[in-house]
Chain A
Amino acid sequence: MTEEELIEYAKTKMATYKVPRKVLFDAVMRNPTGKLMKPQMREKYTGRKEAFKKLD
């Protein structure tokens, strides 16, 4: 799966304004009960996003 493939798929499933602008491939951060750790992810990815390699 590529970033383009995922974005193209998203376009068929949701309104244009909801389609993700950027896709990163990495392990999703979840706590022991499976809850997404979004604040930690926001800090990790939007703070220093350049550290994460985009898959092409």
Chain B
Amino acid sequence: MHLQNNSLEWIITYYAIIKIGAVIVPLNFRFVGQDILYAAKISSPRAFILGSEFLPVVQPIQKDLKTVASYICVGAEVPDDMIDYQSITANGDISEAMVDVDDQHDLAMMFTSGTTGDPKPVLHTHYSLNNTAIGNGMSYFVEKNDNYVFFLPLYHSGTMFLWAPFYATGATGTILREFTNPKWIIEAMAEEKGTDILFVVPIAVAILNAIKKGDLSLADYDLSSWRYMEIGAQPVPFDVMKRLVETLPCGCSNIYGITEGGGGGLFNLYPEEVLEKPGSIGKPTFGMDARIVDFEGNEVAAGEVGELLLKTNRMMKGYYQNPEMTAKTLKDDWLYTGDLVKADDEGYIYIVDRAKDMVTSGGENIFPVEIEDALMDHPKIDDVACIGQKTGSP
């Protein structure tokens, strides 16, 4: 198990674990003791690498983590019963680990954020991560001289889809520990000569608002190195996308992804298309096939809503030790995403909503995202969520 805030050590220890053929379980920073115990029950970890900032969360449950034989702690104050990470880098054998691992060897168990019930352990292999690096390296024009500024959580598949190709390409990454404020992100892009960055909607809105209010002026910074900004992880309101295009000195693209399918970037709407195709997530990226089917599994016509199915070499092997759930999600090599989408005549895909979030009222299907999108256009609304409530009457 692996629990650290964003740091250089986060990446070093990640690759160290997978290079020796072990399976990594990267944990969500927000996991509390109970969540960690849940992940441990499923994954039976032998070792636990943690940042000292998480000692207050981990120490109280140490006695219950029965399979953990050793703890490695990264930080200034390491407890006596844990191995100091610095002592390994200072005194350990740092020669290249040469362990033979098969392509299909398990690599990572990623606990999804649990949109339905308990987090599910998504099992990825060396094959799927390798293809994530290749597919996204090709689709996002990653090259050796790039410098990606990472400030979103590294454990998340929405960030993995870009650090994997950056690592594979030998490009530079600038790792920020966390998001503090809009100014700091822009400062980092300027000072580190960042070329790419990933946003999520709330952070994009915070940056746009800071600019609008006059708290932040992009003209004060040298942002000439900045090439791309990708935004995703949730439907991006067109109003937000339009303002980003008008405001930022770089190309803006809209991405879509799912942990089970290899993380972010499975679809991309490129900068030259974002204003032409409002609200679209674009088309499948390198090595990705997509179909849209109705609840009986029949392909739907353009413009009609159906479930998005994916077939790709970046896909998970399955949910760890959960054949029933795996069988429901992976059928005939197709991944059932649970996302309701429609395609236009040119094959651009539009997310309609999560199948489970759909609301039915008087026999009509309502997709909450449509309502959220319309309300977000209102100048006084920064953030909104629509949920259904059972009325008890038809």
Interface centre among A34, A35, A37, A46 (most CB of B within 10 A): A34
Q: Give the 7 A-B CB pairs with smallest separation, nearest first.
A: A34-B200, A13-B374, A33-B233, A46-B389, A28-B383, A31-B113, A1-B380
- Distance in angstroms from A12 CB to nearest chain B CB is 9
Decide yes or no: A46 and B387 within 8 Å by CB, A9-B378, A33-B152 being known contacts: yes
Alpha-carbon separation in the docked complex, A6 to B374 (Å)? 11
Interface residues of A in 1-56 (CB under 8 A from B): 1, 6, 9-10, 13-14, 17-18, 20-22, 28-39, 41-42, 45-46, 49
Can you list 12 A-B pairs, Cβ within 8 angstroms, ordered by A?
A: A6-B381, A17-B364, A18-B366, A18-B371, A33-B234, A34-B201, A35-B115, A38-B368, A41-B387, A42-B387, A45-B387, A46-B387
Alpha-carbon separation in the docked complex, A28 to B201 (Å)? 13
Which partner residue on chain B sits nearest A31 by CB separation?
B113
- A36 touching B371, Cβ below 8 Å: no
Alpha-carbon separation in the docked complex, A48 to B44 (Å)? 37
- B156 touching A33, Cβ below 8 Å: yes
- Distance in angstroms from A42 CB to nearest chain B CB is 5
Please give, as numbers and ranges, the residues of chain B lying within 8 Å of A20 by CB-CB distance: 371, 386
Does B153 sit at the interface, judged by CB under 8 A? yes
- Distance in angstroms from A1 CB to nearest chain B CB is 5
- A14 touching B388, Cβ below 8 Å: no
Contacts A14-B371, A32-B153, A38-B385 known; 12 new A-B pairs at CB < 8 A: A1-B378, A6-B375, A9-B375, A10-B371, A17-B361, A17-B364, A22-B389, A34-B233, A35-B234, A38-B387, A41-B387, A46-B387
Interface residues of B in 1-42 (CB under 8 A from A): 28-30
Per-position 1/0 for B332-369, Cβ under 8 A of A:
00000000000000000000001011000110101010
User: At the interface, is chain B mostly helix, strand, loop or mixed?
Assistant: loop
- B383 touching A38, Cβ below 8 Å: no
- A36 touching B385, Cβ below 8 Å: yes
- B29 touching A39, Cβ below 8 Å: no
Which partner residue on chain B sits nearest A47 by CB separation?
B389
Alpha-carbon separation in the docked complex, A31 to B116 (Å)? 13
Interface residues of B in 114-136 (CB under 8 A from A): 114-117
Does B377 sit at the interface, judged by CB under 8 A? yes
- Distance in angstroms from A26 CB to nearest chain B CB is 10
Please give, as numbers and ranges, the residues of chain A lying within 8 Å of B113 by CB-CB distance: 31, 33, 35, 37
Does B390 sit at the interface, judged by CB under 8 A? yes
Alpha-carbon separation in the docked complex, A46 to B354 (Å)? 19
Per-position 1/0 for B137-177, Cβ under 8 A of A:
00000000000000011001010000000000000000000
Alpha-carbon separation in the docked complex, A18 to B362 (Å)? 11
Alpha-carbon separation in the docked complex, A35 to B389 (Å)? 20
Please give, as numbers and ranges, the residues of chain A lying within 8 Å of B114 by CB-CB distance: 39
Decide yes or no: A33 and B385 within 8 Å by CB, A18-B366, A18-B371, A46-B390 being known contacts: no
Alpha-carbon separation in the docked complex, A20 to B387 (Å)? 9
Does B68 sit at the interface, judged by CB under 8 A? no
Please give, as numbers and ranges, the residues of chain A lying within 8 Å of B297 by CB-CB distance: none
Which partner residue on chain A sits nearest B30 by CB separation?
A32
Does B187 sit at the interface, judged by CB under 8 A? no
